[in-house]
Amino acid sequence: MPSSSGASDPKIPLPLAHSEALIEPEKLLEAYFYSSTVGLCILDPDLRYLAVNETLARINGLAAPDHIGRTVREVLGEVAATVEPQLRQILSTGTDLYYEVSGKLPAREELGHWLAHYLPIKNETGEITRIGVILIEITAQKKLEESVQHLDQKLRQKTGRMQVLSEVTRLLSSNWDVPKVFPQISARIRRVLRQEFASFALRDPGSGLLIPQAIDFPLGKGLVSTVQVIGANTPAARSIEESTAKIFSSAELRGFDSDVARNLVGEGMHSLCCVPLMRPKGPLGVFILGSTRHDAFHTEDLELVNQVAAQLAAAIENHRTAAEVEQLKQRLGEERRYLEGESRPEKQFAEMIGDSAALRIVLDQVATVAGSEATVLILGETGTGKELVARAIHRLSRRNNGAFIKVNCAAIPTGLLESELFGHEKGAFTGAVTRKIGRMELADGGTLFLDEIGEIPLELQPKLLRVLQDHEFERLGSTHTVKANLRLIAATNRNLVQSVSQHEFRSDLFYRLNVFPIQLPALRDRREDIPLLVRHFVHKFARLMDRYIETIPKDTMKALMAWHWPGNIRELENLMERSVILSEGSSLRVPLSELHAQPAAEPSQDHTLDTAERTHIIRVLRETKGVLSGREGAARRLGLKRTTLQSKMQRLKITRADYSDPSHR
């Protein structure tokens, strides 16, 4: 063992008797003592440093001479708590020990890692008198290994999240009905975020409230599923307001004074993540994830959640767009069916045949009211051409590019009229298997013509009144208000004033309809138009049937002029069609036996026509205060020349006393 003979040699770490006397541990220590990569030291039984090489001194951050005499704890600090038990085990067992040490040395700011080999050194008697320590630093290798592991973990995480996004994309591309596929989407996200709760809500355009659309919460108690509306003071609403993803802790959830937040807390939620479903026009709604774990969601999770939310928003918008396109297609189909076969002549009043004063008055009224948006009430007997007048008003109006939708209130059963006018939702009543667009909605931007308005049931009249007043209504089975930008034209052959007095028609609705009334004359009150109408219908049906009708017998025309035409123009048209069918030659053959003809009378003796014409001229003269010519004169209003009017006044024996103001007589 050591002696003083070798103490003066600086290259020998320990005083030795002679080199041959070195035992194996000492030979190993001597071999590594001057190594630049291997740290080495020798400790006494009290774990004090007897010798240390420069490499270990550099590792410990303390000069080699400053180690001598100090204990392991004084040099290594908190790392000694790990090392000392191993060293004492060497002293007690006398066996080598290989050990990996990790810790933070007092002189170093970062965690270090080392491989240690502890060697017992015995004297000649076999007693362990020293411990040799060989130390190799592996901190750099550990850092590299941890970096590789971290990168591998990040890569695995990234791959997993990319796979989730890919599967979500596949699900949404195959089905834009987000509520239907939402549970599957939530299941994919749960693989990486391990959330227990997932939901999404959409913003109602009218109220701005959030309406839950789907919830995936298999282990829920049912508190959240009862929520019908998400109000303002909620985590989801705050995320929408700030237009950014938000993560809320359980303490923050308790800070919201709302039933929604209390229900989430009651379900055991400790973490909540809310992400707006953003689109260029603004947020559509919000995507919500919840967990019963504290701090379940982190900032790095927002990348995945934002990407899923973006796909959900796009799918929702696509679904809405597709629904709107389908609705437009359905509406276009409805309009085509309603408009099928309708003619729209370019010439004004091309379908109104006649040149009588009574008809000219009507046409003047049509031209006057067409350019306004006023509601028009067309009055007249059946078959007088009320629909033609309505079409002429639409054709001359600013809405002529919109649809002209006709509804015959008398032809539709009472139980179906409301559905026909206002439409219905799927399931609104038995047999409502699909949504139906009503005529009101089809007429949006155009004109709605309600024929036989007097037949509309009393229970529907308030709803029609609301359309006239506020231009809005609801479909059957729906609470959603539909705006209707339409013009209403109504027609009836009933005496609505009498119906109001008999409580068969609402007075407020009548006043709304009676903004601009147009009274159509019966055919017997415009007999001078009968020859024109006869020729028009004969030519029309002759072309259709490939017939050639050249003449109309004089007696036949006289009989037609004499008939009082209870069915008006419609009756005349049907008779002409039947006559063309019966005509075998070039002369029109009219089955006059079908007419209960009255004796033909001279025009001057036709008291019915004269009386109506005389009454009408007197009324206009009173309105113009006797002025015949000029822009505001009676002749212009009647569509006559001044000389013609004077001639009629003379023939009908109209005197100044008939139209002068009684107060000035």
Are residues 366 and 466 located together in one domain of the fold?
yes
- Asked whether residue 446 is domain-assigned, the answer is yes
As a whole number of angstroms, the distance between CA 589 and CA 585 comes to 9
Same domain, 514 and 529: no
Domain with residue 583: its CATH number is 1.10.8.60
Domain check: are 85 and 103 in the same one?
Answer: yes
33 and 126 fall within a common domain = yes
Any domain includes 335: no
Q: Are both 186 and 126 inside the same structural domain?
A: no
Indicate whether 557 belongs to any domain: yes
User: Quick check: is 333 in a domain?
Assistant: no
For residue 59, being part of any structural domain is answered with yes
Q: State which of 262, 293, 320 marks the end of a domain.
A: 320
SS3 content of the chain, % helix, strand, coil (to 5): 50, 15, 35
User: Which residue intervals of 403-547 are DSSP H helices?
Assistant: 414-422, 439-442, 461-470, 496-501, 507-513, 530-544
Angle at which helices 259-266 and 235-242 cross, to 10°: 120
CA dihedral of 257, 258, 263, 264, whole degrees rounded to 10: -70
- Chosen domain end from 552, 579, 600: 600
Cα angle 72, 78, 80; round to 5: 30
Query: Based on the domain organization, do 491 and 465 belong to the same domain?
Result: yes
Last residue of a domain, one of 267, 297, 320: 320
Residues 502 and 386 placed together within one structural domain of the fold: yes
DSSP string, 7-31: TT-TT-SS--S-GGG--HHHHHHHH
DSSP letter for each residue of 551-580:
B--HHHHHHHHH---TTHHHHHHHHHHHHH
Is the same domain home to 195 and 53? no
Instruction: Name the residue range of residue 534's domain.
Output: 523-600
Q: Are strands 404-408 and 447-451 parallel, antiparallel or unpaired?
A: parallel
Task: Please give the angle made by the CA atoms of 405, 411 and 413, to the nearest 5 degrees.
Answer: 110
Pair (265, 313) in one structural domain: yes
In a domain, 24, yes or no: yes
Instruction: Please state the pTM of the whole predicted model.
Output: 0.46
What pLDDT is attached to residue 333? 59
Sign of dihedral through CA atoms 101, 105, 108, 110?
positive
Name the domain count of the chain.
5
Residue 476 per-residue DSSP state: B
In a domain, 146, yes or no: no
The residues that bridge with 100 in the sheet, in sequence order, are 115
- Contact (Cβ atoms closer than 8 angstroms) between residue 98 and residue 83: no
Amino acid identity, position 657: A
CATH of the domain at 43: 3.30.450.20
The HSE-up count of residue 575 (CA atoms within 13 Å, CB side) is 25
- Whether residues 120 and 208 fall in one domain: no
Q: pLDDT tens-digit profile of 61-82?
A: 999 999 999 999 999 999 999 9
Q: Give me the CATH number covering residue 266.
A: 3.30.450.40
CA neighbor of 282 nearest in space, from 240, 254, 251: 240
Which pLDDT score, from 0 to 100, does residue 580 have? 93
Distance separating alpha carbons of residues 122 and 42, to the nearest angstrom: 12
Mark whether 99 and 187 lie in a shared domain: no
Do residues 480 and 474 lie in contact, with contact meaning Cβ atoms separated by under 8 Å? yes
Biggest CA–CA distance in the chain, Å, is: 168
- In this structure, the answer to whether residues 316 and 179 fall within a common structural domain is yes
Q: pLDDT under 50 in the chain at which residues? A: 1-22, 335-346, 597-607, 662-665
142 in any annotated domain:
no
Cα separation, 209 vs 260, whole angstroms: 13
- What pLDDT, on the 0 to 100 scale, is given for residue 113? 93
Q: Give alpha helix (H) positions in 235-297.
A: 235-242, 250-254, 259-266
